[in-house]
Amino acid sequence: MANDASTVFDLVILGGGSGGYAAALRASQLGLDVALIEKDKVGGTCLHYGCIPTKALLHAGEVADSARESAGFGVKATFEGIDMPAVHKYKDGVISGLYKGLQGLIASRKITYVEGEGRLSSPTSVDVNGQRYEGRHILLATGSVPKSIPGLEIDGNRIINSDHALKLDRVPQSVVILGGGVIGCEFASAWKSFGTDVTIVEGLPHLVPAEDENSSKLLERAFRKRGIKFSLGSFFEKAEYTDNGVKVSLANGKEYEAELLLVAIGRGPVSQGLGYEEAGVDMDRGYVLVDEYCRTNVPTISAVGDLIPTLQLAHVGFAEGILVAERLAGMDVVPIDYDGVPRVTYSHPEVASVGLTEAKAKEIHGADKVVTLKYNLGGNGRSKILKTQGEIKLVQVRDGAVVGVHMVGDRMGEQVGEAQLIYNWEALPAEVAQLVHAHPTQNEALGEAHLALAGKPLHSHD
């Protein structure tokens, strides 16, 4: 194969999703000569098939709920239904605008952008479109795809994954969702707002099982009030077609029938057949193994994003891509504290958190060293105005820093920024308590919670 570059690139990146394009932008900014290879569209899963389109659907659902509930605010409005082609036009317009902006950024940084399916051909080269791109360093960022269960065929007809769900041309009458994690709960929330009868099947004891148990229970309570049904603690056994849809059978003998089955059990790495093992890269269950600096066992190869076994979040991919670019440019870099990364489930209500769960904090620090406080949003004026319910839970090491912030309620994802600072700067409750939070805001609830934890509650009981 001919080398498409007259000189060797400083960095060749395989995959243009969140981690890959962030690395390309930062490396170029630092003076490195970069080639970015992407088989689909720059922006990857997050922009085209994940974060952005799902949140657009959820917002459309929020508007629908607002129309239904307008009388409760003294506003006369009628809800006439969901126009899915118009919803998709809105969603696709959001994606298109962001995509054009990202393309402009890539071009402005003078990054060599290559469209095509690349394959690692050596520890210092990637082959694509009959050309070989040589690099002093290679970054693997090939992302992930929706997973399934052995024996369960996702046909895109009645048994679908999140990619299919985002393009569905109608509002289904009923859906069983296999998986009660972030993806499953977000689709359940959006579809319920659209008018679908939804049942979630989760084999673990709680919805959003990676979150603090208190947050899971609050979400479950809210979903019950909304009429979202769920089955917890029993695993999927089989799915079969019926005359009108799908029947799902669980290990405990329960059966559920619906028009569609959405398989939302997570995402798996895209690594098979891409030459990683042949180049000597250490792998585990399809994931590329890296150290805290995103370095593989091969000195010239790094990896980031959903391809490595860290949190599968776009903002984690951004951070890992930036870390690799700065390391290659000779800068001193600090490993990412993954506990300090904000996590948000954009359901109605939202679940947002940063830091340690109560259970994890007790495991690390000891049960007698952990203090918790719950602040109910019922005492927050702005939340009352919005008619949202929920809670903020703080986890503190006794006489020390706040090590976990867990929030449930509408728009709590917008409050996780301050929560991130509280955790990452190891703030004491008294230090946060002396900061003045604007009134009336939902952000004020964070301040009130810390006032209470500092022993001087204002709008809450001792």
Catalytic residue among 206, 315, 439, 461: 439
Residue 161, both tokens:
């994954």
The vertex-246 CA angle with 242 and 251, nearest 5°, equals 110
Q: What 3 state SS string does 66-105 have?
A: HHHCHHHHCCCCCCCCCCHHHHHHHHHHHHHHHHHHHHHH
Give the Cα separation of 145 and 454 in Å (integer): 45
Three-class DSSP category at 214: helix
The answer to whether residue 315 is catalytic is no
DSSP letter string, 314-331: HHHHHHHHHHHHHHHTT-
Residue 73: Cβ within 10 Å count: 11
State both tokens at 444: 């004020």
Phi and psi for 71 in degrees, rounded to 5?
-60, -30
At 296 the three-state DSSP class reads coil
For residue 171 the two structure tokens come to 């509002």
Q: What is the separation, in whole angstroms, between the first and last Cα of the chain?
A: 73
**What are the φ/ψ torsions at residue 257 (nearest 5 degrees)?**
-115, 145
Residues tagged active-site: 439
